[in-house]
Amino acid sequence: MVVKSLPKIPTIDFSEGNLNPGTSSWFSVCNDVRRALEEYGCFVALYDKISQQLRTSMFSELKELFDLPTEIKMKNVSDKPYFGYIGNHPSIPPLHESMGIENATTLEGGESFTNIIWPKGGNNHFCETVVSYSRLVSELEKMVKRMVFQSYGVEKYYDSHLGSTTFLLKLIKYRVPEMNESSIGCAPHTDKSFITVLHQNEVNGLEIETRDGDWIQFEPSPSSFLVLAGDAFLAWTNGRIHSAAHRVVMTGTKPRYSIGLFSYHNGTIEIPDELVDEQHPQQFKSFDHYGLLHHYHAAPKIESTAKDYCGV
Ligand SMILES: O=C(O)CCC(=O)C(=O)O
Ligand SMILES: [Fe+2]
């Protein structure tokens, strides 16, 4: 019998202090990042900027937040689909519960969420913790983005792209399934973000689909972050980068907590002319990023939201 060995999600070390633009180690990591995103649509980043103390605080804040009564959590609303409180949602598995903090790298974003959940006197510790966490993780997102822009020779667009980037921090809890309940915590999907950076507690369950259709597990250490390309990144690279389907399957007896930092773009994303040539005919037109999200919401599809919304 031939046993097929599954590939592993590539791991890239961002914890070395010498990752300065222009150095030879920077260029080599740029290529690793681009290759991983083209082949797998994701990679595991080893990133040591989140201290053990901040990590512990984040997950204990998450637990406290989800332990609040549902009517309080439901005050987390947004005009953008999937950005507010999700719980007992008819089209989302019942194990899943999530809340979204918009503009989470800004103090205003953190305060606005905090004041809605804790209107009497706020909750400074929560606010400071999520904003510090979001800022540090957004540095990883920006570095990855800069590396990819550079690797494709279009770094000149980086600053303006960065200027229009916003960050959504999504806090997620998956409860343990009851007897006879499905173990699916999150159905297979691709993200609509530009980039998503995921970080979780010690309970595994996230699986990524390879281009060959195999499902591989994300088995992190405390300093691992999963960097995933979303459909917007796929379209911006004119189809070069893969946006991988992923899902969450709950096994075991402990709830899983996960934190996702999702980058979005205010306004239109232009496809760089440099990424369209004879070998790479134009596949996508420039598009409105939140329009892509609304399009998905109106007609959820795993495969083809980007093609459907802004394919040529
Ligand atoms: O729970 C996770 O780690 C993944 C969540 C996810 O895929 C999403 O919210 O888009
Ligand atoms: Fe996702």
Task: Report CA Rg, the chain.
Answer: 19
Ligand 2 centroid from CA 62, angstroms = 18
| 3-state SS assignment for residue 57 | helix
- Indicate if the pLDDT at residue 295 is higher than 90: yes
Ligand 1 atom having least distance to the Cα of 198? 3
224 DSSP β-pair partners: 46
Mean pLDDT along residues 215-234: 97
Q: Which atom of ligand 1 is nearest to the CA of 246?
A: 7
Best of 42, 198, 293, 296 for a ligand 1 pocket test (most atoms within 8 Å of beta carbon): 198
| Average confidence score pLDDT of the chain | 96
What is the distance, to the nearest Å, from the Cα of residue 281 to the centroid of all Cα atoms in its chain? 28
pLDDT on residue 304: 83
Instruction: Using the mean position of ligand 1's atoms as its centre, give its distance from the Cα of residue 260 in Å.
Output: 7
* Alpha carbon of 68 to ligand 2 centroid (Å): 24
Q: 194, 199, 206, 247: which to mutate for ligand 1, most atoms within 8 A of CB?
A: 206
Average pLDDT, stretch 218-237? 97
pLDDT at residue 300 greater than cutoff 90:
no
- In this prediction, what percent of the chain has a pLDDT beyond 90? 89
Rounded mean pLDDT of 183-190?
A: 97
Res 302: pLDDT: 64
Mean pLDDT of 182-209: 97
More confident residue, 303 or 254: 254
pLDDT at 253: 95
Q: Give mean pLDDT, residues 32-42.
A: 98
Least confident of 93-102, 271-280, 302-311: 302-311
pLDDT of residue 128: 98
Question: Measured from the CA of 98, which atom of ligand 1 is nearest?
Answer: 9
Say if residues 95 and 254 touch (Cβ distance below 8 Å): no
Asked if residue 17 has pLDDT above 80, the reply is no
pLDDT > 80? residue 303: no
Secondary structure (3-state) at 42: strand
Using one digit for the tens of pLDDT, what is the confidence trace for 118-133? 999 889 999 999 999 9
- Judge contact between 185 and 256, C-beta under 8 A: yes
Provide the pLDDT for residue 18: 62
**Pocket (CB within 6 angstroms of ligand 1):** 170, 172, 186, 191, 198, 200, 206, 246, 248, 258, 260
Helix (H/G/I), strand (E/B), else coil: 110: helix
At residue 100, the pLDDT reads 98
What is residue 31's DSSP assignment?
H
Residue 4: pLDDT above 80? no
Q: Residue 85 Cα, ligand 2 centroid: separation in angstroms?
A: 16
Q: How confident is the model at residue 21 (pLDDT cuts 50, 70, 90)?
A: confident
Query: What average pLDDT does range 248-270 have in this prediction?
Result: 97
Q: Which of 42, 92, 186 to mutate to test the pocket of ligand 1 (most atoms within 8 A of CB)?
A: 186
Which residue bears the tokens 């960050």? Answer: 167
- Examine the pLDDT at 240 and tell me if it is beyond 70: yes
Domains with residue ranges and CATH for the chain: 41-66+150-310 (2.60.120.330)
Percent of the chain with pLDDT over 70: 99
pLDDT digits 0-9 by tens, 97-115:
999 999 999 999 999 999 9
The closest alpha carbon to 53, from 119, 136, 112, belongs to 136
Q: Name the residue among 272, 218, 204, 180 with its Cα closest to residue 10.
A: 218
Examine the pLDDT at 41 and tell me if it is beyond 90.
yes
> What pLDDT does 34 receive?
98
The pLDDT assigned to 221 comes to 95
Residue 5 pLDDT more than 90?
no
* Closest residue by CA, ligand 1 atom 2: 258
With a cut of 80, say whether residue 1 has pLDDT above it: no
Q: What is the mean pLDDT of residues 70-77?
A: 98
How far apart are the CA of 240 and the centre of ligand 2, in A? 19
Choose among 45, 90, 85: nearest CA to 65: 85
Question: pLDDT-based confidence at 22, cuts 50/70/90?
Answer: confident
| Per-residue pLDDT, 23 | 87
